[in-house]
Amino acid sequence: DKYLEGEQISKESLQKQMKIAMLENSIVPILTTIPPKEIGSKELLDFIVNYLPSPVDASPRKVKLPNKEEEKK
């Protein structure tokens, strides 16, 4: 909303909102690199560090084990 109203968005606010959106599965980032030529590798690692949510922040997932009726967390 801030962007559409002409306001500046801080880097911290963008990072926080992107992490929230990824945790909610609202957005899925698609990034490409060419590792043999080292094109995009640094940017990919920077994105992972700065924008992807920590696994600790994710909610536990229920998993259904094969041949079992109970679910495991």
Predicted local confidence at residue 45, as pLDDT: 93
The pLDDT tens digits for 23-51 are 898 999 999 999 899 899 999 999 999 88
The Cα diameter of the chain in Å comes to 55
Q: What's at 66, amino acid-wise?
A: P
61 token code pair: 């997932």
Q: Under a CB-based contact definition with an 8 Å cutoff, are residues 48 and 22 in contact? A: no
Q: Under a CB-based contact definition with an 8 Å cutoff, are residues 43 and 29 in contact? A: no
- pTM score over 0.85: no
